[in-house]
Amino acid sequence: MAIKVLAIAEQKDGKLSNVSFELISVAKKVGGELMTACLAESADGIAGELASHGGGKVLAVSGPALKYYNDESYARVISGLIEKYQPQLVVGPATFYGKALLARLAAMNDGAMASDITGIKADGDVVTVTRPAYGGNVIVDLSQNDGGKIFFITVRPKVFEESGDGDGEVVTETVDVSATSSRSTVKEMITEVGTSVNLNEADIIVAAGRGIRGPENLELIRKLADSLGAALGASRAIVDAEWIEYRHQVGQTGKTVNPKLYFAVGISGAIQHLVGMQTSKTIVAINRDKDAPIFNIASFGIIGDLFEVVPALTAKFEANK
C-alpha cells in the first residue's frame, strides 16, 4: 500500500521559507502519494510555487485568520485536512513554529512523534527516521510500526536538498470559519531590525562566545559576518549576560543549525552549545586556549587572539568580494 504523506509548508509574510522545499524532498524519499498543506491569508500564489517544485497535491487554505501563525487555529485547520485525506505520515520543519505545531497535531490526532530528524527511509508501509539523541552523542533510528497511528515528524533544516522542480496541482480547500478561531489572537508581527539572515536558513554562521570579553566587541564579529554574508550567532553565555538578544542563541536551549560553514569565535565548546551546531558541514574555531573543547569537533582551528585574527580575516574576505 502506497504511503500518503502530508508536508506542511512554512510561510512568513506570504513568503515561503526554504525549508518548505526541503520537506518536499523528504516526502519524495518516502514515495507514495504526496500532499502539501499551505495556509496563508491568500495561499494561491505560494501554493502555485509549491506545485512547481514538485509538491504533489497542494492543499491551499486561505483566510484572514491565517495571515499570522497561530498554534491553535493552524492545528485545527490542518487536523481537518488530516481527517479528510488520511495521511500516514505528516512532515513539518523543526523550526520554532514547526516544533510547536507538529507536537500539537500529534496530540490532537493521537499520533506518534519524532523530532529533528536527519534521515528517512520507507520499507513498505513502515517509515524509519534517523535523529540525534543525548546531545548528538547517539544517533537513533525510530520506526512507526503501528499502522493505526499517524507518524508526525519534524525535519532539521539544511540537512536535505531543496526540491527544485516537478509537477503538482493546486487544490483550493475551504474551511469552516469556526476552525480558525482561537483563544489567542495575533494582531501584528514585527520584524526585528538588523536581522538580515535567518539562522535556520543560513549557509554561513559566525557565532560569538564569552571570549569576545564584552558587548562592545560584538561589532568586530558583525563585521566578519557581514564580510561573508553570514548570520550572526551566539553562545548561551553571552545571551545570559545580555550582550545580545536570545534570537541569536545557538545550542540546546537556542536554535539547532546546520550551515555549510560555522565560525565559532571565542567559544570554548560547552556541550550545550555543541548540541546545536556540531552537524555543521565545516567548523572553524578561533580561540586562544589550545585545549578548548571546540577544537575536538572543529574542521579547522586557529589558536590565537581573536582581536588579531578576526580583523585579518574580515579584511581578507572583504578584499575577495
List Cα–Cα distances, 50 to 44, 53, 54, 289, 313, in angstroms.
Answer: 10, 5, 7, 48, 39
Class of residue 55 by CB neighbours under 10 A (exposed 0-12, middle 13-18, buried 19+): buried
At 84-143, the pLDDT tens digits run 999 999 999 999 899 999 999 999 999 999 999 999 999 888 899 999 888 777 889 998
- Asked if the structure places residue 203 within a domain, the reply is yes
Pick the last residue of a domain from 180, 213, 247. Answer: 180
Both 241 and 108 in one domain: the answer is: no
In this structure, is the dihedral angle defined by the CA atoms of residues 161, 162, 166 and 168, taken in order, positive or negative? positive
175 band by pLDDT with thresholds 50, 70 and 90: confident
Residue numbers of the domain that contains 229: 199-319
171 band by pLDDT with thresholds 50, 70 and 90: very high
Both 10 and 106 in one domain: the answer is: yes
* Closest C-alpha to 14, from 73, 52, 64, 80: 64
Both 169 and 206 in one domain: the answer is: no
Both 173 and 205 in one domain: the answer is: no
Q: Residue with C-alpha cell 504533489? A: 56
Both 21 and 57 in one domain: the answer is: yes
- Asked if the structure places residue 194 within a domain, the reply is no
CA 177 to chain centre: 30
Q: What is the CATH number of the domain that holds 232?
A: 3.40.50.1220
- 54-66: average pLDDT: 94
Both 117 and 225 in one domain: the answer is: no
- Asked if the structure places residue 225 within a domain, the reply is yes
At 239-297, the pLDDT tens digits run 999 999 999 999 988 998 999 999 999 999 999 999 999 999 999 999 999 999 999 99
Q: How far apart are CA 88 and CA 261, in angstroms?
A: 36
* Closest C-alpha to 23, from 13, 36, 33, 12: 36
Pick the last residue of a domain from 180, 207, 231. Answer: 180
Q: How far apart are CA 54 and CA 258, in angstroms?
A: 24
